[in-house]
Structure 1
């Protein structure tokens, strides 16, 4: 590849900031670059923007409209007062684990007797399963609180009730038409729920229950102690970082920086490779959450819960070391699966299809979701990856932004034994004999939907151009005021024009650049962009990427996280 092979910068240059953006920059005191990003996103100077930039816990939506909240708090409070045994049962992912930790600690703090339990992917699978019910009954509990599961578990909840166990369900997944056999059902998606913000993850709902218990039992209970867990669970579950979630995650990340939760602190330091640095939503998503999720993918999720609940620093550190090893094991499995997946796609020409279905007995059921997501990101196509165990297949589905994944599965439900999830991610069950029929039906369902969607821009297209009047470090400081960034509040992609590549080098599959931009020096890192090195070495080019603080150099310099290089 040479510089001539690069796409021209003029094909995607968003242009200079508008007059309105320049006025916003002067009014708010932002750099022209970040003011341009805000203006293009629909923001204008005023109280609404001020409140968004500096969210306060006092601005959280009052929980009064949450259906069944009073009933849930009253039943848990009664159980605590009368010294009943309480079981808390959570899903095996990060949202379920953090929710379970919050509810468990809240009950303990108020003097209750509680046993935390988690679903197991390899013994009952997702949700409140039959093995899960058996474990709850073994605790002799008279009250069950489910976290991040239960919405679709009518049969087990009914069996629990028959055995004398009341249930409080905390969940944010799709609401069933049939009413649940539970004392209370906390889910903002209920049609009769008046709580206006529908984007809370289950950990946010767990915090609302803790707040209601504080009101009912002990107003001295400081529920802010769980904000760090809410931040981790919300980001890990890819909940939208807007509304109440923005407020909760911003406050939770600040608390995480000085958390007294020794296991979580050790996880944050491990994710930062030993550096004591501020934790961002991106750090949670790519460093902390994967370590919490790893045991649930590979073995028993209880290890992650134990790490979050542990109060002894030495034991917490030992647990985190185990989490780190399991995470590395997961990465090794993932790498092997990706190689097999891409090999099959190339051999069978699946890249030309509107959607991709891969199935193998070599695939690990705990890693299919990650691989489906990676294939989707790489090829831009809806993807299902199925792990076969004899005649039984369990898989995960992922799709590009804007694609209605759940709807596509509904269209071919007759080709599946079962499925569930939402429009961005879903799980499927089918037999080995159903694979080909499902592949044909899903290809057609996806093709039909894709034909109705407007053409999308290249995923690397920049949002704004770095304005030549701006100081790079000031732009970086302004960008940090937009945090937390993620779903619902994507970090702006910047176009860096007329950049001189002073030095270039490959780091395995990655690309590292030293740059000169005007009078400033900065670096760039391009994940999986090593193939661009011959085209950019010694050249004057343009880059698209996100501006980040380079903590490896003490945090006083900026780094571009590259998405692509362009011809100037």
Structure 2
């Protein structure tokens, strides 16, 4: 692991903020690192306000989108809400369809089949709309590159409203409205909304025309925060406000589908991390193992007994997903070793019968072993389909763009993308991808980095300090959980390896007479670094440990040197 200490802000700025807020200099320093330098900015950060959400009509084409939906309502048109089978897509469809259902009975939903149709807007979906007299499709979390498909729909008398957040290509689809903050001609002040976030701005705009306030729409924010967490968008600006209030909804008044899904989870208050690791994988599992519509049905269900049934089915899909990703990861690691490809700057593996629904997870797992840009391919019909994942700091989307001569289609983000190509293109693509990455990646990015916010002494870790630290949440990209470093600690003799295969390290660190419990997941191999009274330094976050009714602070170790 590379340890990188973040630059320390100017002492004068830290001292000024520390005095204004009456907090210690470590807290003030963490705030300044996050771009917060004044009392007013700190107030906005610690107390996110719905009043700071932007006017949805600042988004390009929002007026056109609302006008087209109002026209559809007035003319009793059939409307189809279309979205992808991942978490952002299914939560978007659940949000938009359940909102529109409060003002129209002529709303249906459509999620493409991952295996039969693939990612994005499909011709099958448009044909389904045509066969069912649907004249308006609202596409969420997809569509920004669907030039030909939108034209095809238009030829059948079907209009599109696109709500997307992916990067547009050179051309914008000829739709009734295209909402995407990443459009170059869109002046919307916040560019990092997820697909569900763009959908929320649309229902906010529709609601304004009917005299609804933001308070009337709070019930939809449990869906928005789930998409924000799962899609790994920055939790800054407007996303931070939506996530903050979305977590309140999940914890105080979740929709029935969430209540059913969480009925077995014994936690007092869910954090964004819990949303990412408990809720999101279950929603995703439906689209991965069966069909994304199962997730939409759960998220829009209003009867608790039915929701429990849907949740039980999704739990089974999630269990199947875990089994599949475990076995495929093992096969992929064997393939890398047997092909002697562990020396390159990329990982590209292929097996025709790997489950298409889990190849993205497998790509992430492979990065845990070989830390480099990774693609996992499987056969999809007559083509090959792949999921790409990247390492921090490297734009895999741009790398794929540089290989586009060997790709039929691709889309995604800086760190995650999907692509399809012909079987005959695989070898040339693999060679080109290795070449592009090798020529463009900064080699230090091939070693995992721990960014440390600031050094800290054990005596500075107090209950008051942690209480303030908790208010920095919700955490995520752009506002990560603060990581600290303490040097010259030693173990009290308590260290031991725990868990299955003794993969984790539990110890008690001591410095200047103070002791603190610590646990390092997957750090069992560091056991010899902390024994025999030797001194070492630790990188860690701070958390609460709940045990037998008692609550204590503990260090969550990220690395030991």
Q: Is it true that 1:66 corresponds to 2:79 in the alignment? A: no
Deviation at 1:562, TM superposition (A): 2.1
Question: Aligned with 1:198: secondary structure?
Answer: coil
Q: Is it true that 1:507 corresponds to 2:499 in the alignment? A: yes
Deviation at 1:454, TM superposition (A): 6.8
Deviation at 1:241, TM superposition (A): 0.8
Paired position in structure 2 for 1:473: 463
CA separation of 1:115/1:380 partners in 2, compared to 1, >3 Å: closer, same or farther? same
| Equivalent of 1:92 in 85, 96, 105 | 85
Paired position in structure 1 for 2:231: 237
Distance in 1 (CA, whole Å) between partners of 2:307 and 2:532 is 48
Q: Is it true that 1:264 corresponds to 2:258 in the alignment? A: yes
For residues 80-159 of structure 1, the aligned pairs below 5 Å read 80-159=73-152
Q: Provide, for residues 448-492 of structure 1, a one-character-per-residue CA deviation record: whole Å limited to 9, x for no partner.
A: 1115x7768852353222234423333322221111111121111
Q: Are the equivalent residues in 1 in contact too, given 2:495–2:530 (CA < 8 A)?
A: no
CA separation of 1:187/1:427 partners in 2, compared to 1, >3 Å: closer, same or farther? same
Q: Provide, for residues 515-548 of structure 1, a one-character-per-residue CA deviation record: whole Å limited to 9, x for no partner.
A: 2545666543322222223443574543322212
| Equivalent of 1:78 in 64, 71, 76 | 71
Q: Are the equivalent residues in 2 in contact too, given 1:90–1:100 (CA < 8 A)?
A: yes
For residues 176-325 of structure 1, the aligned pairs below 5 Å read 176-219=169-212, 222-270=216-264, 274-325=265-316
Distance in 2 (CA, whole Å) between partners of 1:45 and 1:105 is 41
Structure 2, unpaired ranges of 5+: none
Q: Is it true that 1:546 corresponds to 2:541 in the alignment? A: yes
Question: Aligned with 1:559: secondary structure?
Answer: strand
CA separation of 1:17/1:245 partners in 2, compared to 1, >3 Å: closer, same or farther? closer
Question: Aligned with 2:450: secondary structure?
Answer: coil
Question: Aligned with 1:407: secondary structure?
Answer: helix
Paired position in structure 1 for 2:47: 54
Deviation at 1:333, TM superposition (A): 0.9
Q: Which structure 1 residue ranges, 4+ long, deviate > 6 Å from structure 2? A: 11-18, 453-457
CA separation of 1:376/1:514 partners in 2, compared to 1, >3 Å: closer, same or farther? closer
CA separation of 1:563/1:347 partners in 2, compared to 1, >3 Å: closer, same or farther? farther
Q: Provide, for residues 182-230 of structure 1, a one-character-per-residue CA deviation record: whole Å limited to 9, x for no partner.
A: 2111111122212121101111111111111112234378111111111
CA separation of 1:443/1:550 partners in 2, compared to 1, >3 Å: closer, same or farther? same
Distance in 2 (CA, whole Å) between partners of 1:449 and 1:535 is 36
Paired position in structure 2 for 1:3: none
Distance in 2 (CA, whole Å) between partners of 1:276 and 1:245 is 24
Q: Are the equivalent residues in 2 in contact too, given 1:354–1:446 (CA < 8 A)?
A: yes
Question: What TM-score, normalized by structure 2, do the two folds share?
Answer: 0.91
Distance in 2 (CA, whole Å) between partners of 1:553 and 1:135 is 56
Paired position in structure 2 for 1:401: 392
Question: What TM-score, normalized by structure 1, do the two folds share?
Answer: 0.90
Paired position in structure 1 for 2:439: 448
| Equivalent of 1:426 in 398, 404, 417 | 417
Q: Are the equivalent residues in 2 in contact too, given 1:381–1:399 (CA < 8 A)?
A: yes
CA separation of 1:192/1:139 partners in 2, compared to 1, >3 Å: closer, same or farther? same
Distance in 1 (CA, whole Å) between partners of 2:399 and 2:6 is 34
Give the stretch that moved more between structures: 152-161 or 279-288. Answer: 152-161
Question: Aligned with 2:143: secondary structure?
Answer: coil
Give the stretch that moved more between structures: 524-533 or 50-59. Answer: 524-533
Structure 1, unpaired ranges of 5+: 1-6
Give the length in aligned residue pairs: 554
Distance in 2 (CA, whole Å) between partners of 1:103 and 1:131 is 21
Paired position in structure 1 for 2:474: 484
Deviation at 1:358, TM superposition (A): 0.9
| Equivalent of 1:329 in 297, 320, 324 | 320
For residues 378-417 of structure 1, the aligned pairs below 5 Å read 378-389=369-380, 392-417=383-408
